[in-house]
Structures are given as structure tokens and as C-alpha cells.
Amino acid sequence: MPDPESLSGPTLSDARASKPIVVNAPGFLVMQLDDGNFQSLMRKSQPHRLELGYTRTMMGFLLFNPHPKHIAMIGLGGGSMPKHCYRRLRDSSITVVEINPEVIALRNRFHVPSDNQRFTVVCGDGADYVARQKSALDVLIVDGFDTSGQAPQLCTQCFYDACHASLGDHGVMVVNILGADPGIETYLARIRHSFDGAVVVVPSEDCDNKIVFAVKGPAIGLPDSELTVRTQALEAQHGLKFQHVAAQLMNHRRADAGDVE
């Protein structure tokens, strides 16, 4: 079994397969795709730990909205982020939308919580779900792929417009984009258009994927001093490193203000 820190999360080749397969490895449970590439990784002794760096980077949404009431996630996989949010954000309700019923069928193997009053897994198309959420979400996490990479319905201008409309006044969208995807600049341009430029792009902690934070409300302009205090508090609460995302946000604001060379 490779070192978890060396695994980079989904790649274009990972996304080309759709049938999930569970593999027992020493100390880990792996969700593989039917071409042999991995999709999710769970440490058996710590099933709620975020093993892959790109998932830890995506948790940076808390810098923009530390106390979300309703989190929606497109893409279940092995449920790493849903499990973390369910355990750590006790005042948040979580809806996960997964289009593949075979992935959902494996939820118990990966310790994904059963449906209850604040946690639900829905089998359906994430784009259809988002279109029905008008100002209903505080956080929207988009991490969905099909056999060719980014699912086409999850990267259109119409979809990103709907994402903006689905968020409340202080909402944030987080998108995992494959670094090797030839359409990445097009997707980023569409997101910036939908969110009027309030967008920060952060390299994943452990791979070439890009994690995109698109924000409504004033949080993107949080002063550096307040952002530093928030970063330290969140790191203590979640046991994760948020400094990487905070630094990218600070650089983004300085670039907008013309303070960087």
C-alpha cells in the first residue's frame, strides 16, 4: 500500500471508470475504480480521518463560513469529507448527492453515517439538485466526475450560475478541478463570471488539482488580522492546516489591490 501522503486524489484516468471496487489493503480500505485506479482511501484505525490532501484543502471553506447550517456535497466516494463534517460540525445539516447507486451501496463499508435528521445521502444528479436550492445552502462542495473527467453538467455556465443562486448571503462554493483537465481555464472563467470575481484558486495540498473557493458576501475581504485569528482557531478545532488556504486568500486580495509585483 503506498503512503497516503503520496496519493494525489482523482486524476483524469481515475475518472474514466465508473464501477467502484473495494480493496482491503494493510491498514487501509481503498475504493478503486474498475480501471484499477483509486478513488477514496480510509485508514481502518481512524475511519474519519482525512487521508488525502485535496480533501483537507477543500475544508478551507471554513475560513469563509466557520458555522455553516446547511452543507451540500456533490459526490460521495468513500465519504471522507461528509464524515469529517458530520463529526466536527455538530450544528450543520449535510446533504450528499451521488449519481452512482453502486457507490452509495458501499457506504457502510466506509463508515458513512446512516441517514438521520442532519445527514442525508441522495441518489441523483447534482446539477438537478442545485437548481432546486434557492438561497438554501451555506456551503456547496462540488467533487463530481464521470467517465471523461469533470461531469459535463457540473461545469457549465448555467450550472455555476445555479450554484451562486443556491447559496445564501454568506455562502461559499468549493470545487475540486483536476489539474490535468484541458478545460480548467474555461471552468475558472465561468466561475468568476457567476461569482463576480470573488474567487480564490488554491493548489491542492498534495497534488496538481486546483481547489476553487467562490464566495458570496464579505468574507473574501476579511482583514488579515481577523483571518489569522480564524485560521488558528479552526486549526485547533479540526486538527487540520488552514494556513495554506489563508495565505492564498491574502495573496489574492493583495493582487486585486495592486500590492504585489
The answer to whether residue 143 is catalytic is: yes
Q: How far apart are CA 2 and CA 170, in angstroms?
A: 40
Strands 93-98 and 70-74: parallel
Residues 6+ apart with CB under 8 A from 233: 66
The amino acid that residue 186 corresponds to is T
Q: Whole-angstrom Cα distance, residue 114 to residue 69?
A: 19
Residues in Cβ contact with 175 at an 8 Å cutoff, skipping those fewer than 6 apart: 142, 143, 187, 191, 211, 212, 214
**Residue of 3, 14, 128, 143 marked catalytic:** 143
Q: Minimal CA–CA distance to 209: which of 146, 161, 150?
A: 150
Active site residues: 143
